[in-house]
Amino acid sequence: MKVVAIVLACLLVVGLLVSRSQQEQDPLKNHKFTVVKTDAEWRKLLTPEQYKITRQKSTELACSGAYWKNHEKGIYQCVCCKLPLFDSKTKFESGTGWPSFYQAIHKDAILEIPDYSFGMVRTEILCSRCGAHLGHVFEDGPRPTGLRYCLNSVALHFVKDAQ
């Protein structure tokens, strides 16, 4: 019984140290979002599903979004602030059920931050203008970057190329 208590105490201390370390290295600490709204303003602007995903960091079900099978040419913007994020030229079929891209339209369009939720270590991506949760990036994508930006369709607004 003493061994179990010691192990649990050690795990608690390590957890507190990791949590504190993560807070001290907050990647958003020095970032200033240029589009800032109250929760009430976001709720008025967005649908309930858009609000849940972009402001509360939820995830839509695989194969349920409007853009996972979209093959039209155009630009994918942030649904909250319309910042251009991804070009259809970098979209690819990942087999995941979410729209996937191997490169952002510009490196400053998105923010990458550590995500330790659900007992996993991932990299969350946010809109750099308004802080909307977009999805996650993984290192299992195609060339030339080897990255897979896995996005929620609900977090995006698609603007079709004029032809």
150 carries an active-site annotation: yes
C-alpha to C-alpha distances, 149 to 5, 52, 66, 112, 146, nearest whole angstrom: 42, 20, 16, 11, 10
- C-beta of residue 82 within 8 angstroms of C-beta of residue 105: no
Count the Cβ atoms, other than its own, within 10 Å of residue 136. 19
81-120 burial code (b ≥16 CB/10 A, e <16): bebebbbbebbeebeeebbbbbbbbeeebbbbeeeeeeee
Catalytic residue from among 80, 81, 130, 150: 150
Provide the residue count of the chain.
163
8 φ, ψ (degrees, to nearest 5): -65, -40
Q: Which residues are catalytic?
A: 150
